[in-house]
Amino acid sequence: MPGVVVFGRRWGIASDDLVFPGSFELFVRVLWWIGTMILYTYHKGNFDCNGRGVLQSYLVGLLVVLALIILSLCAIVYVSAQGTITNPGPRRSIPALVYLRALLYIPEVVWACLGAVWVSDDSKGCDPATVGAVIAAVIASWIILLFTALGVVFVFDPLGNPRPQHAAMEPLGVRDMESSEGTQFFSTARSLAVKVWESRLRLLCCCLPQDESHRAAFSGIAKLVSGFFSDTDLVPSDIAAGLALLHQEQDKMEQSRDPDTIITHSPSSPIEEDLEVELEKAAHCMQFAAAAYGWPLYIYSNPLTGPCKLSGDCCRSHAAEYEIVGGDHLGCHFSSILHSTGLQYRDFLYVSFHNQIYEIPFFVALDHKREAVLVAVRGTLSLKDVLTDLSAECENLPIEGVTGACYAHKGMSQAAGYIYKKLVNDGILNQAFSIAPEYKLVITGHSLGAGTASLLAILLRNSFPTLQCYSFSPPGGLLSKALADYSKNFVVSVVLGKDLVPRLSIPNMEDLKRKILKIVSNCNKPKYRILLQGCWYELFGGEPDDFPTEMDNRREEELSQPLLGEESLMIRNSSSYQSLASDDSPAHTVAHLPLFMPGRVLHITEDGPSRRSCFSQVRYRAEWSNEMAFRSVLISPRMLADHMPDAVLWALNSLTSDKPFSLCPSSLNNSQHHTI
């Protein structure tokens, strides 16, 4: 932080990011130089073959070029390791060293061409080992040049054009953007950032139709992504270092927490059901939510037996027995659903694998065991689903009988509206209840399917007052407070451990950004040490690193200005800027409408030590929580693994079977409880 400025533009890499790539290249170059020196010494400068003069010149020149490259790399690695993330002063010479290193590519290309010419024209009669060594050197040169070119493309920043220089820079490098010139500059920069991200999305989704709905989704997502770090000058490695520091600080706070502050929250719903009964229902519904993913999850969960079970069913035709829509021409998805749920063909009334943006797969079946008409909505499994997930702006969702502001996640709200029209307008639910009029309606889903299922339940609640919804790992940024409170009467959300998605919302991400900026600004260690210690801690555990967490020794007037380096883009009126001065800064709390998880929240955690061996017994505990316990992102190796549907299903089955299980993937951190 900030991005290094060379060749007249800013790049997506900082001056302290060259330690690891420079060290790796240095290791390769030293081995290369040693091998070349051994070859030259072995022949003692005398080569008995054609073109020996060219060969000798090539080897001597290669030794000199490699020596110069090694010296430049040593300087780059040493200088890049100096200073801290927010103090790039000791690394001021990095641009000059980068220019020197780039200049050395010229003789390297010349010598690679010289070696290629010698191999092709003058290598006849020479020692095969010598010829092979020269060929290897030429190939190595071109491989390094190729990877260097790929690295340049990777760190190229389309927004890195030279910025206008201001006459006077502020003491800590924070520009006063209150002037009209500054406002106009940032408005132009943000517009350009949106266009760049739209182009990236179009390229990434080039296989999708470029119709109006997709263009609108690209535009909304581009505004969201480009605006997130638009007021900072962070590079990806700064974010990685901040996450590593934040994880260790959170674990340190967890270890120092008073056990007496860990309590169990009671559900706020007026209808208070027994926890064990809810767990039984949740475990049963999770089978259907997981089954909605089709054959990919079934094969993943049953890698040995799954392919054999599906192979005999995939090509059979059962079109007369159920209505199936889109995307399952071989029947593999439906066969996996049959195996996962244990239902019969006749129990399915409607199965849709049609998948477009805002239109996600679902199925409707008769669950005779629980006497329910069950609607299961699939979670994220395609690029179109990801676009639906990322359409995170708010959309009005007025509901009769609900007072207060009613709005919800746009992508999931539209997906719920799509399924609602199918169920109601196409008469699917009428058909189901004409077959089983005494059954009740149950809606379930996981992840994207959980958010969509919850919104679908809200839309159907007035027509089906007894419906229930089980939402597994739902997104945290889903409903307004009024709708979240309304849903507590009929929605149960199940969250496993430190799952990221239930804690994922725009306000939470803004809070995470603020914490990353603060902890990175306070840390006095170089970035390479932070990343090395962070990787070691994630892989092998140990005690959290002891690093400064408060700015107690700084002058009071400096607390209002973040230390972000000379070329920082942290602007004075931004939420992140103000929040560095105060954790309670209102700027970052009003920037986005608050969104909450649906319904009552059932939180499942591992009971016991936070880290255990792969062969130890694992027990889970379940307790009622509330949506406010998930207003902060927790950094952990389990934050993604706990979101997987098979992990949620395993935990629920463990709780309902009332016996310990040995589960290696859960041996990492996963013991977060609720603190008042």
Which amino acids are annotated catalytic? 447, 499
Give the whole-angstrom CA distance, residue 219 versus residue 205.
Answer: 13
Sequence-separated (6 or more) residues with CB below 8 Å from residue 258: none
Task: Report which secondary-structure segment, H or E, holds 484.
Answer: helix 481-487
On the CB side of 95, how many CA atoms lie within 13 Å of its CA?
12
User: How big is the chain, counted in residues?
Assistant: 676
Give the whole-angstrom CA distance, residue 334 versus residue 331.
Answer: 5
286 φ, ψ (degrees, to nearest 5): -65, -30
Which residue type is seen at 581?
A
Give the whole-angstrom CA distance, residue 356 versus residue 141.
Answer: 46
Give the whole-angstrom CA distance, residue 588 versus residue 580.
Answer: 11
C-alpha 264: how far from its chain's center? 30
Give the whole-angstrom CA distance, residue 332 versus residue 312.
Answer: 10
Give the whole-angstrom CA distance, residue 552 versus residue 559.
Answer: 10
The reply to whether omega before 2 is within 30° of 0 (cis) is yes
Give the whole-angstrom CA distance, residue 200 versus residue 205.
Answer: 8
Indicate the pairing of strand 600-607 with strand 617-625: antiparallel
Closest CA to 255 of 651, 654, 541: 541
Q: Specify the residue for token string 């021409």.
A: 329
Give the whole-angstrom CA distance, residue 478 versus residue 459.
Answer: 14
CA torsion sign for 632, 638, 639, 645 is negative
Give the whole-angstrom CA distance, residue 58 versus residue 126.
Answer: 15
Sequence-separated (6 or more) residues with CB below 8 Å from residue 129: none
Give the whole-angstrom CA distance, residue 575 versus residue 511.
Answer: 10
What one-character-per-residue DSSP string does 539-580 give?
HH--SPP----S-TTS-GGGGGS----TT----TTSHHHHHH
Sequence-separated (6 or more) residues with CB below 8 Å from residue 167: none
Per-residue DSSP letter, 635? P
Helices 383-390 & 410-425 angle (0-180, nearest 10): 110
